[in-house]
Structure 1
């Protein structure tokens, strides 16, 4: 099962409502994935700064990490997660300092991306992190029904393996073990047994090799076996790809104000102007991408 949602805003006046709209979409997809959920929001960023999204146990004193990291680091707490902002030039030092702290992990990094995920009903996860209060240009989310790995926060989506980049996935890959070994020889270290993490790492590696997101998604059609729908978030937008068989449900809608993706139409039904939107099923093996710089 699993449910995917994505929302890319063309109209700047909607940016303060991004979290509210995305939260409603996740809530509707609860039936497709009731065991855990997560989302990534691309909000305000500051040139020369990087946001590290951290995760720890409930009640952890994240504020203490400001002194551990130093270098003018600041932190904003959200339940079991927190966003640590540091100078981009000091990111390596910050990560080294965090590595000495037991029980804290980095789940995402970027100038604009913040990433949150937890076990529980999607609507509860959204409320826990106050998604409805977040603003931004675009975001993606996932509701999970675990079929191939345990129900854990680590196994929840999105998976982030690149700067300002993350992936949500509905489906299953048959060759992810072999691909994992290839990526490990290239220096990648997997954190989970989830095949979706490998898909995210594959796309990140292709982009590090100089491929665009569109080209990396095209490459995955040759190198990834199985059935899948991917939605990939980047600093500038998001991309969508279904495998050549396209056995997983997917629907998209576009208006002058936004582009939206949902595993089912009902995830889009509450969006403004949906009654006059262009609505279609994305074609198999076709890459779709929307870029805020081109909007």
Structure 2
């Protein structure tokens, strides 16, 4: 069944509250996905530096072993490394050679991505989501109906820089899409169909499509039923398949745009009583970009 949420802030005064608002939205979706949960937050970032979010064990000494210019923040089972952008290939090569047990699950200037097995309230607490600030974020609560309950199967999925996706639904052509995308240099770490959708969008963006254009194309190229909520460095978007059998609701004010699988995920947002609340139309792309 699964639950998905997203929050895009127009008003910078709300940025310190992004994490606490997103955490509340995720916790409300617990009964739609009690097995595992995850979220991505787009924070301030540092000019000229890249962040990698890494999952694994024995994380405390990783940054020191890589080099003096590498910063590190450990949050439970995840580590966020920060380093000059021109060192990304060097850092990835070190990780592959010296710590192949670690999994890179997110990369970019602004994105941090966290996911684990457990009830959503426990997962958000473990990673300290309520204390995180940023401009936008997305999240997912999973009910594993077609595969095992694992952290690898949890959302969001990220296959491109500062890009991630959460998905409610099922794709019937994900195997053929995977075979098409892998020769294009899109790598996959799991067998999850949602990771293939993320890879498809990463490929489209890399080829020069805007986020809105990539999602328009997805309506013809992704076969199945789906609701996608997508984050990029500066954008936030939602699209549903032409049938739209999965529930979805959105709310927009002059301060934010919010998405939830159900309206109750949105009731804790400030000023929700004055929001324009609507059901996103089938096969229509909704996209917003943050002010530069």
TM band (smaller chain): over 0.9
The residue that corresponds to 1:119 in the other structure is 117
1:30 is aligned to 2:30: yes
Q: Is the 8 A contact 1:148 1:194 kept in 2?
A: no
Cα distance between partner residues in 2 of 1:273 and 1:187 = 44
Aligned to 1:66: 63
The answer to whether structure 1 residue 201 and structure 2 residue 199 are counterparts is: yes
Q: Following the alignment from structure 1 to structure 2, what is the Cα–Cα distance between the partners of residues 186 and 71?
A: 34
Distance 1:121 1:241 in 2: 26
What are the residue-to-residue correspondences of 1:63-212 with 2, within 5 Å? Answer: 63-70=60-67, 72-100=69-97, 101-212=99-210
- 8 Å CA contact retained: 2:26, 2:141: yes
How far is 1:66 from its partner?
Answer: 1.6
Please state whether the residue corresponding to 2:46 is helix, strand or coil: coil
Paired with 1:106 and 1:280, the residues of 2 have a C-alpha distance of 36
Q: Structure 1 unaligned runs (5+)?
A: none
For residues 47 and 257 of structure 1, what CA distance do their matches in structure 2 show? 26
Aligned to 2:55: 55
Query: TM-score if structure 1 supplies the norm length?
Result: 0.97
Partner of 2:15: 15
- 1:149 deviates by 1.9
Distance, in Å, in 2 between the alignment partners of 1:185 and 1:102 is 23
Structure 2: stretches of 5+ with no match in the other structure: none
The answer to whether the 8 A contact 2:159-2:188 is kept is no
Aligned structure 1 segments of 4 or more residues deviating by more than 3 angstroms = none
SS in 1 for 2:60: helix
Residue 82 of structure 1, CA deviation: 1.0
Aligned to 1:221: 219
Worse-superposed segment, 101-110 or 277-286 = 101-110
SS state at 1:63 partner? coil
Superposed displacement of residue 68, structure 1: 2.5
Instruction: Kindly tell me the number of residue pairs found equivalent between the two proteins.
Output: 291
| Deviations 1:160-207, CA, capped at 9 Å, x for gaps | 000000000000000001111111122222211100000000010011
- Cα distance in structure 1, aligned partners of 2:212 and 2:179: 24
The separation in 2 between residues aligned to 1:68 and 1:186, in whole angstroms, is 33
Contact kept? 1:4, 1:29, Cα under 8 Å: yes
Deviation at 1:63, TM superposition (A): 2.9
Deviation at residue 69 of structure 1 after TM alignment: 1.8
- Rounded Cα–Cα distance in structure 1 between residues aligned with 2:56 and 2:290: 32
| Whole-angstrom CA distance in 2 between matches of 1:197 and 1:102 | 21
In the TM superposition, what are the counterparts of 1:270-285 in structure 2 within 5 Å?
270-285=268-283
Query: How far, CA to CA, are the matches of 1:70 and 1:107 in structure 2?
Result: 21
Q: TM-score, normalised by structure 2?
A: 0.98
CA contact 1:6–1:22 (8 Å) conserved in 2:
yes
Q: Distance in 2 between matches of 1:149 and 1:219?
A: 28
Please tell me whether the aligned partners of residues 3 and 32 of structure 1 are also in contact (alpha carbons under 8 angstroms): yes
